[in-house]
Structure 1
């Protein structure tokens, strides 16, 4: 794994760190500072450290993180960035999964006593009680992984239909144990999960299509690890204008179907079985879409089931949209 340490804050006391927060970043230097500031504002009384993984050769994110951690000023505002314990690394192998793997490997090597590792994306801002709520939920339910909602923040001009579309909505609505998680943009993982699961944790085959997190959770479930959802552990995520369009939502829906097919094939190791499932889902998808369209009073929302089914079938013939190939457009 090709990793270079770019910066380490002076106040990193590895032995006393109980929590790690990892942040993969790619060409979002200003948004990253807002993410880091939301971590400064956390109310949790446990000591935590931040690991920023920059996956772009220009290292804009690494420079931004270093600037934040060594300065208390952004546009004249006092950010107390120097209060963060942190390490900034360069993950030189391009790809979403490589960035995550670099951060998780660094956490295991550098911090011998942490109990939990959390993940937040570089376009998200955490609620002040985010970490506290995730940890409390893990300990209350005794689960190994805990997810939380990514609350989408749309531009004022965004049509209301996108705010209700499945690609933008959290998978669960209540704090409770759940069968599985799907997203890594807001998650807490127990250390023993990372120690048990083989490295690399996220399969690089998902680097540019996404879904490495869903595949990881699927493998964790097969190993007997348990999951919970914490509805109060919220992060706010900006939705760029280009995402609130039919073109982007259609691409994401097709991609979701492709990922589902790929994970099914990996799990069953039976291509014909996955193909049969994809054909069945395609056959019933018009009926599911019609019911959804009527229920939601939206043809666009109703189309989701058909789009996912088509995406599954496209994956069977090797046609997959690599939305993460150009992350600035994802």
Structure 2
């Protein structure tokens, strides 16, 4: 539990890559949420510094740094360079999101009150007007909102607070650049932080929202994301030396349930449903990940 004389400042670390308009929207929302105890650093992963003008013109006056090594893991690690012992915690939020007015106070207060090493908040997906009807009908894209206090096995960096105490206890880990082109460096880092003794708790009231690009409104993209998520979990478990026999058995069992549900959806002409299809493609990803398969979703061309 954090002591009363512990540092109260927080660092908000934002990695960005060629989304200046989205970044400004995020900074505008932070302006209505954060207080004077928040330091903000924007890490531009574009060597052409496409975010510089937007950041330097913003009233929040966040710190601006450039990380020329391509990849989200490298950008996140550059953000950690600003995470000092003056900070009680670092908060990660994505450049294509925006926060609610009470977000900052809710997230930081819950971390203090719960004593959790990591706090993850919900990300609400906002679909564009031109979204195909089968996507909302099938429950795609909407992440499950857990009850506050739910304990999680790991976390993403899209709305997450990590205390300095938990980070130092875990050995001050960095994001693994082996995951840069595939995604999953955040899941890997927080998996290790939890294994080092930190609790990862969910706070349903600390809300951020995000848009879905029209380029992702397809079954092909969703299927690849499900497979990738399964591959990432398999890689993380293998890297951290977790037992794999039960992991494989559960993946096979879930795949069987998902295949049955998907077949029933087809027979009854109910269309695609996220719940059943996730139970097919995520375990397929887990099994293929153990066999060495990779999906390089974030690989940059050129």
**Taking structure 1 as the reference length, what is the TM-score of the superposition?**
0.80
Q: Note if 1:212 corresponds to 2:202.
A: no
Number of aligned residues:
294
Q: Runs of 5+ in structure 2 lacking a partner?
A: 1-6
Counterparts of 2:252 and 2:146 in 1: how far apart (Å)? 30
Q: Runs of 5+ in structure 1 lacking a partner?
A: 1-15, 69-80
**Taking structure 2 as the reference length, what is the TM-score of the superposition?**
0.86
Native 8 Å contact 2:23 2:95 kept in 1: yes
Native 8 Å contact 2:16 2:23 kept in 1: yes
> Which of 42, 48, 54 is the aligned partner of 1:58?
48
Q: Alignment RMSD, CA only?
A: 2.8
Counterparts of 2:290 and 2:28 in 1: how far apart (Å)? 43
Counterparts of 2:215 and 2:32 in 1: how far apart (Å)? 30
Per the alignment, residue 19 of structure 2 pairs with 28
Native 8 Å contact 2:155 2:200 kept in 1: no
Per the alignment, residue 245 of structure 1 pairs with 218
Counterparts of 2:139 and 2:188 in 1: how far apart (Å)? 20
Native 8 Å contact 2:55 2:61 kept in 1: no
Native 8 Å contact 1:141 1:177 kept in 2: no
Matches within 5 A, 1:141-220: 141-163=114-136, 168-220=141-193
Structure with more of its chain in helix, by fraction: 1
Per the alignment, residue 226 of structure 1 pairs with 199
Q: 1:290 to 1:208 in 2, by over 3 A?
A: same
Per the alignment, residue 4 of structure 2 pairs with none
Counterparts of 1:180 and 1:129 in 2: how far apart (Å)? 26
Native 8 Å contact 1:22 1:119 kept in 2: yes
Q: 1:218 to 1:290 in 2, by over 3 A?
A: farther
Counterparts of 2:198 and 2:268 in 1: how far apart (Å)? 35
Per the alignment, residue 39 of structure 2 pairs with 49
Counterparts of 1:66 and 1:17 in 2: how far apart (Å)? 26
